[in-house]
């Protein structure tokens, strides 16, 4: 609503500035030593504004402002209904997950922690990271809109208590390493203003639950967390691939040693066979020499 009001205010301010400028031009011309005929000046200004389509431009801007105002009203009405607010948070959460992670790394509304079904989850090498996207907008708005100091303090305490109850439920339901989760879960708050209030006014509460495994995130901070989780999964995959390469190298080394042993045995056999062949060759030479020394007996005619 504030954005729409600022836009409409800007339009009115722009229109007023244009008319003030026109009045100054008209006054300056009227005070000139050789003044222009007022009817002629008025007609010229009117024709100029008409050629600029000034009225049409202002009308179109006003129409856009009205459309924005309608969207703001619809969004505000939607966020005030708990069911629609939850659906809005889940939809925003799904968009962020799809923007930062591959499809095989996350899931929406799946029963992955025993009988519990988180709004979303991220699959990592260390386990499932559950994500809850509920937040207490009604109590926060009551605190924000309260004017009396006593009422403001009362609504602030109520909002803190509601946030504490929600974080405690997330811890109980989703921080369960024995059931396959990591030692932490995310409490996703789709409103930067609510998140900023918690960080600035309820930091001790957030710090306490961070120690207990519940990390409160906003759209801005959640994107960074997802990138870290993705980097961790990629590092794990690289580590697994490196380990696979090492195992294959070990296997290849073992096979090479076996071939080397077989070649060594074959080389020994070849060496022995060569020696045996040399012995046979030398013996053959001796036999040939002995035969050559035998005189051929004389044959009587």
For 282-300, what is each residue's pLDDT tens digit? 777 777 777 777 755 555 5
Domain-located, residue 186: yes
Task: Give percent of the chain above pLDDT 90.
Answer: 28
Domain-located, residue 290: no
Per-residue model confidence as pLDDT tens digits over 171-218: 999 999 999 999 999 999 888 888 999 999 999 999 999 999 999 999
Looking at the fold, whether 72 and 122 belong to one and the same domain comes out as no
Helix axis angle for 149-174 and 203-211, nearest 10°, is 10
Q: Is the pLDDT of residue 31 over 60?
A: no
Looking at the fold, whether 167 and 70 belong to one and the same domain comes out as no
pTM for the model? 0.55
The three state secondary structure string of 78-104 is HHHCHHHHHHHHHHHHHHHHHHHCCHH
Looking at the fold, whether 59 and 143 belong to one and the same domain comes out as no
Domain-located, residue 299: no
Residue 73, domain extent: 1-29+43-80
Q: How confident is the model at residue 276 (pLDDT cuts 50, 70, 90)?
A: confident
In contact, 93 and 190? CB cutoff 8 Å = yes
In contact, 158 and 150? CB cutoff 8 Å = no
Domain-located, residue 286: no
Helix axis angle for 203-211 and 192-201, nearest 10°, is 90
Q: Is the pLDDT of residue 149 over 50?
A: yes
Mean pLDDT lowest among 21-25, 101-105, 243-247, 275-279: 21-25
pLDDT of residue 129: 94
- Is the model more confident about 164 or about 69? 164
Most distant CA atoms of the chain, gap in Å: 170
pLDDT of residue 133: 86
Looking at the fold, whether 56 and 125 belong to one and the same domain comes out as no
Looking at the fold, whether 99 and 3 belong to one and the same domain comes out as no
Looking at the fold, whether 51 and 136 belong to one and the same domain comes out as no
State how many domains the chain has: 2
Q: Give me the chain's average pLDDT, please.
A: 76
Looking at the fold, whether 257 and 166 belong to one and the same domain comes out as yes
In contact, 213 and 167? CB cutoff 8 Å = no
pLDDT of residue 42: 64
User: If you average pLDDT over residues 19-42, what whole number do you get?
Assistant: 57
Domain-located, residue 279: no
Q: Is the pLDDT of residue 259 over 50?
A: yes
Looking at the fold, whether 70 and 125 belong to one and the same domain comes out as no
At a CB cut-off of 8 Å and minimum separation 6, what does 271 contact? none
In contact, 186 and 129? CB cutoff 8 Å = yes
pLDDT of residue 3: 47
Q: Is the pLDDT of residue 8 over 50?
A: yes
pLDDT of residue 1: 44
Domain-located, residue 276: no
Q: Is the pLDDT of residue 48 over 70?
A: no
Looking at the fold, whether 11 and 110 belong to one and the same domain comes out as no
* Cα–Cα dist 185/131, whole Å: 6
Domain-located, residue 296: no
* Cα–Cα dist 137/160, whole Å: 12
pLDDT of residue 92: 81
- Is the model more confident about 258 or about 132? 132
Q: Is the pLDDT of residue 29 over 60?
A: no
Domain-located, residue 272: no
Looking at the fold, whether 111 and 163 belong to one and the same domain comes out as yes
Mean pLDDT lowest among 23-37, 121-135, 186-200: 23-37
Q: How confident is the model at residue 239 (pLDDT cuts 50, 70, 90)?
A: low
Looking at the fold, whether 75 and 90 belong to one and the same domain comes out as no
Looking at the fold, whether 238 and 121 belong to one and the same domain comes out as yes
Q: How confident is the model at residue 255 (pLDDT cuts 50, 70, 90)?
A: confident
């Amino acid at each position: 609503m504030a954005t729409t009001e600022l836009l409409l205010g800007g339009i009115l301010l722009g229109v007023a500035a244009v008319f003030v400028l026109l009045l100054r031009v008209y006054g300056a011309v009227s005070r000139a030593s050789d003044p222009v005929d007022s009817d002629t000046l008025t007609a010229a200004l009117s024709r100029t504004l008409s050629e600029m389509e000034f009225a049409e431009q202002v009308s179109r801007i006003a129409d856009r402002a009205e459309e924005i105002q309608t969207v703001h009203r619809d969004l505000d009405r939607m966020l005030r209904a708990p069911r629609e607010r939850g659906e809005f948070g889940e939809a925003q959460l799904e968009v962020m997950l799809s923007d930062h992670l591959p499809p095989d790394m996350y899931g929406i509304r799946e029963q992955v922690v025993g009988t519990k079904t988180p709004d979303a989850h991220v699959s990592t090498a260390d386990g499932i990271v559950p994500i809850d996207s509920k937040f207490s907008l009604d109590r926060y708005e009551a605190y924000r809109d309260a004017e009396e100091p006593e009422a403001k303090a009362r609504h602030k305490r109520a909002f803190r208590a509601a946030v504490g109850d929600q974080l405690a439920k997330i811890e109980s339901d989703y921080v369960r390493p024995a059931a396959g989760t990591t030692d932490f879960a995310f409490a996703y708050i789709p409103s930067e203003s609510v998140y900023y209030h918690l960080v600035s006014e309820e930091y001790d509460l957030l710090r306490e639950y961070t120690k207990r495994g519940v990390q409160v995130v906003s759209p801005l901070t959640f994107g960074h967390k997802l990138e870290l989780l993705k980097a961790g999964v990629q590092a794990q995959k690289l580590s697994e691939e490196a380990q696979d390469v090492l195992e294959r190298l070990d296997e290849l080394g073992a096979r090479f040693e076996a071939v080397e042993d077989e070649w060594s045995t074959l080389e020994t056999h070849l060496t022995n066979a060569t020696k045996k062949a040399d012995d046979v060759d030398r013996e053959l030479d001796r036999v040939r020499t002995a035969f050559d020394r035998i005189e051929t007996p004389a044959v009587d005619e």
